[in-house]
């Protein structure tokens, strides 16, 4: 293995740049040629591939987003489109690929290996933390800390005005961002897609807490757990108390990666190159109990994420 490439795909996540840096520097320091692919699979299909050197990743470790850029490329599910990507790789004489992204990105990587024998290693990079086989994905910790910053600020105003606040955060199928930020931020209610909730009970509990003199409440809603306007309408109607809404949106996707994401990025990037050097053909890297692990892509697909119900119960117990 002498010549490899790296790309970022799916939603951007803080720490992707630190991860690219780790891949590039590890490859170069092991006398391999390393190429960067622009805009994920879309750029790979178009042959947007550039040789990288040590300086290509200078001053990148602390920057959010991904300097290689990322894209959604739905047409990559088509084997003929994948073939174009393979042709681009072979035009550059590239024999191994590191992909940084989420579940969809790994599906594309698995196809490249299964259909064309391209050696691929996947690094989990997504703020959602929605991959079951790994405890954490690059970007999750920073995103949660950004949400925490928002909760802290909201608390000040909600407390000053005796208000109820609903903060919507990302997570279509996975409530981890809402759960971790909710516990760390002391939210009264955490609404996630994994656990059904009862709006009538929430409304009546908010009303009761008002009567007891607790006049500000914080609800954290994961985007996949329901429609925020409908939730607010129901709570307001049933409790008679107004709810102020904030959609935190893309702010949580950006920002300088914190320590945890930079360390994960360094460990994953280093391991990815080591695996390709040592003949690994196709696998995903993760972290379990603070040990870097590797698993086949089939296992990534099969593993079903277990929601942390204990932490969920802690969130609601501590908020009473």
Residues that bind ligand F6P (CB under 6 A): 11, 102, 126-128, 170-172, 223, 253
Partners of 218 in the β-ladder? 165
DSSP labels for 47-58?
T-EEEE-GGGGT
Q: Which is nearer to ligand ADP, 174 or 218 (CB)?
A: 174
- By CB under 6 A, the residues from 108 to 167 that bind ligand ADP are 108, 111, 126
Among 44, 52, 68, 73, binds ligand ADP (CB under 6 A): 73
Instruction: Please choose which of ligand F6P, ligand ADP, none residue 64 contacts, taking the beta carbon within 5 to 8 angstroms, the exact cut-off set by kind.
Output: none
Instruction: Please choose which of ligand ADP, ligand F6P, none residue 76 contacts, taking the beta carbon within 5 to 8 angstroms, the exact cut-off set by kind.
Output: ligand ADP
Interface stretch with ligand ADP, choices 45-53, 69-77, 224-232, 288-296 (CB under 6 A): 69-77
Instruction: Please choose which of ligand ADP, ligand F6P, none residue 127 contacts, taking the beta carbon within 5 to 8 angstroms, the exact cut-off set by kind.
Output: ligand F6P
Instruction: Please choose which of ligand ADP, ligand F6P, none residue 111 contacts, taking the beta carbon within 5 to 8 angstroms, the exact cut-off set by kind.
Output: ligand ADP
135 is catalytic: no
Using CB atoms within 10 Å of the CB of residue 319, give its burial: 0 to 12 exposed, 13 to 18 middle, 19+ buried.
Answer: middle
Instruction: Please choose which of ligand ADP, ligand F6P, none residue 74 contacts, taking the beta carbon within 5 to 8 angstroms, the exact cut-off set by kind.
Output: ligand ADP
Q: Which is nearer to ligand F6P, 171 or 185 (CB)?
A: 171
Interface stretch with ligand ADP, choices 73-81, 176-184, 228-236, 280-288 (CB under 6 A): 73-81
Interface stretch with ligand ADP, choices 53-61, 102-110, 200-208, 309-317 (CB under 6 A): 102-110
What number of CA atoms fall less than 13 Å from residue 111's CA on the CB side?
18
What number of other Cβ atoms are within 10 A of residue 153's Cβ? 11
Shortest reach from residue 65's CB to ligand F6P, in Å: 12
Shortest reach from residue 292's CB to ligand ADP, in Å: 20
What number of other Cβ atoms are within 10 A of residue 234's Cβ? 16
Which of 124, 152, 122, 154 is closest to 139 using CA atoms?
124
- Active-site hit among 103, 128, 130, 261: 128
What is the biggest distance separating any 2 CA atoms in the chain, rounded to whole angstroms?
71
Using CB atoms within 10 Å of the CB of residue 274, give its burial: 0 to 12 exposed, 13 to 18 middle, 19+ buried.
Answer: middle
Alpha-carbon distance of 170 to 193, in angstroms, equals: 11
Shortest reach from residue 60's CB to ligand ADP, in Å: 20
What number of other Cβ atoms are within 10 A of residue 93's Cβ? 10
Alpha-carbon distance of 73 to 81, in angstroms, equals: 10
Q: Evaluate whether 220 touches 189 at the Cβ level (below 8 Å).
A: yes
Could you give the residue numbers annotated as active site? 128
């Amino acid at each position: 293995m002498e010549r490899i490439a790296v790309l970022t795909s799916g939603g951007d996540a803080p720490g992707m740049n630190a991860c690219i840096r780790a891949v590039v520097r590890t490859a170069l320091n092991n006398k391999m040629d390393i190429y960067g692919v622009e805009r994920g699979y879309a750029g790979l299909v178009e042959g947007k591939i550039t040789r990288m050197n040590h300086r290509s990743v200078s001053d990148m470790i602390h920057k959010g987003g991904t300097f290689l850029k990322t894209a959604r490329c739905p047409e990559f599910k088509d084997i003929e489109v994948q073939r174009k990507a393979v042709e681009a790789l072979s035009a550059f004489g590239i024999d191994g690929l590191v992909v940084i992204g989420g579940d969809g990105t790994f599906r594309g990587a698995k196809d490249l290996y299964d259909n064309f024998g391209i050696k691929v290693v996947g690094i989990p990079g997504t703020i959602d933390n929605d991959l079951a086989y790994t405890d954490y994905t690059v970007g999750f910790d920073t995103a949660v800390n950004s949400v925490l910053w928002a909760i802290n600020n909201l608390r000040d105003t909600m407390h000053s005005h005796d208000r109820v606040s609903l903060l919507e955060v990302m997570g279509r199928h996975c409530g981890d961002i809402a759960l971790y930020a909710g516990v760390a931020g002391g939210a009264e209610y955490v609404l996630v897609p994994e656990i059904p909730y009862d709006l009538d009970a929430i409304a009546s509990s908010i009303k009761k807490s008002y009567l007891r003199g607790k006049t500000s409440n914080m609800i954290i809603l994961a985007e996949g757990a329901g429609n925020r306007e409908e939730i607010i309408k129901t709570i307001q109607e049933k409790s008679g108390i107004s709810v102020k809404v904030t959609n935190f949106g893309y702010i949580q996707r950006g920002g300088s990666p914190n320590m945890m994401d930079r360390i994960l990025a360094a460990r994953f990037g280093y391991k990815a190159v080591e695996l390709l050097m040592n003949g690994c053909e196709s696998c995903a890297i993760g972290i379990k109990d603070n040990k870097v692990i590797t698993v086949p892509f089939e296992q990534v697909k099969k593993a079903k994420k277990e929601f942390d119900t204990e932490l969920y119960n802690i969130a609601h117990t501590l908020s009473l």
